[in-house]
Amino acid sequence: VSDLFTIGEFSRSTHLSVKALRHYHDVGLLEPAAVDAATGYRAYAVAQIPAAQVIRRLRDLDMPLDEVRAVLDAAAVGDEEERDRLVVVHLQRMERQLEETQSSVAALRSLLEGSPPDVDVEFRVVPATAAVAVRADVTWDHVEDWLGGAQATLHAALDGAGVAPAGPDSALYATEFFEAHVGEVTAYLPVAGAVDAGAGTEPIEIPAVDLAVTVHAGSFDDLDRTYAALGAFVASRAIGVPGPVREHYVVAEAADPADLRTEVGWPIAPRT
Amino acid sequence: VSDLFTIGEFSRSTHLSVKALRHYHDVGLLEPAAVDAATGYRAYAVAQIPAAQVIRRLRDLDMPLDEVRAVLDAAAVGDEEERDRLVVVHLQRMERQLEETQSSVAALRSLLEGSPPDVDVEFRVVPATAAVAVRADVTWDHVEDWLGGAQATLHAALDGAGVAPAGPDSALYATEFFEAHVGEVTAYLPVAGAVDAGAGTEPIEIPAVDLAVTVHAGSFDDLDRTYAALGAFVASRAIGVPGPVREHYVVAEAADPADLRTEVGWPIAPRT
DNA sequence: TTGCTCCTCACGTCACGTGAGGTGGC
DNA sequence: TTGCTCCTCACGTCACGTGAGGTGGC
To the nearest whole number, what is the mean pLDDT of chain A? 93
Interface test with B, best of A56, A112, A121, A237 (most B CBs within 10 A): A112
Residue B1 has pLDDT above 70, yes or no: no
Task: Using CA coordinates, name the residue in chain B closest to A78.
Answer: B112
- Label residue A1 by pLDDT band (50, 70, 90): low
Q: What is the pLDDT of residue B117?
A: 75
Q: Are A185 and A138 within 8 A, CB to CB? A: yes
Cβ <8 Å between B5 and A57 = no
Distance CA A200, CA A138 (A): 16
What would the pLDDT profile of A110-153 be if each residue is shown by its tens digit?
Answer: 999 877 777 899 999 999 999 999 999 999 999 999 999 999 99
What would the pLDDT profile of A147-191 be if each residue is shown by its tens digit?
Answer: 999 999 999 999 988 899 999 999 999 999 999 999 999 999 999
What would the pLDDT profile of B234-265 be if each residue is shown by its tens digit?
Answer: 999 989 999 999 999 999 999 999 999 999 99
Instruction: Give me the residues of A, 28-57, that contact B with CB < 8 A.
Output: 46, 49-50, 53-54, 56-57
What would the pLDDT profile of B53-86 be if each residue is shown by its tens digit?
Answer: 999 999 999 999 999 999 999 999 999 999 999 9
Chain B residues in contact with A94 by the CB 8 A cut-off are: 101
Q: Are B133 and B246 within 8 A, CB to CB? A: no
Q: Which amino acid is at A101?
A: T
Least confident segment among A177-181, A232-236, B193-197? B193-197
Which residues neighbour A71 within 8 Å (Cβ) at sequence distance 6 or greater?
A54, A58, A63, A83, A86, A87
Least confident segment among A4-8, A190-194, B253-257? A190-194
Instruction: Give me the residues of B, 98-117, that contact A with CB < 8 A.
Output: 98, 100-101, 104-105, 107-108, 111-112, 116
- Strands annotated E in chain A: 4-5, 34-35, 42-45, 122-126, 129-139, 170-173, 182-190, 202-206, 209-217, 245-251, 261-268
Q: What percent of chain B has pLDDT over 70?
A: 99
What would the pLDDT profile of B121-157 be if each residue is shown by its tens digit?
Answer: 999 999 999 999 999 999 999 999 999 999 999 999 9
**B165: alpha, beta or left? (left if phi > 0; alpha if psi -120 to 50):** beta
Q: Which amino acid is at B211?
A: L
What would the pLDDT profile of A27-65 be if each residue is shown by its tens digit?
Answer: 999 999 999 999 999 999 999 999 999 999 999 999 999
DSSP B32-69: -SEE-TTT--EEEEGGGHHHHHHHHHHHHTT--HHHHH
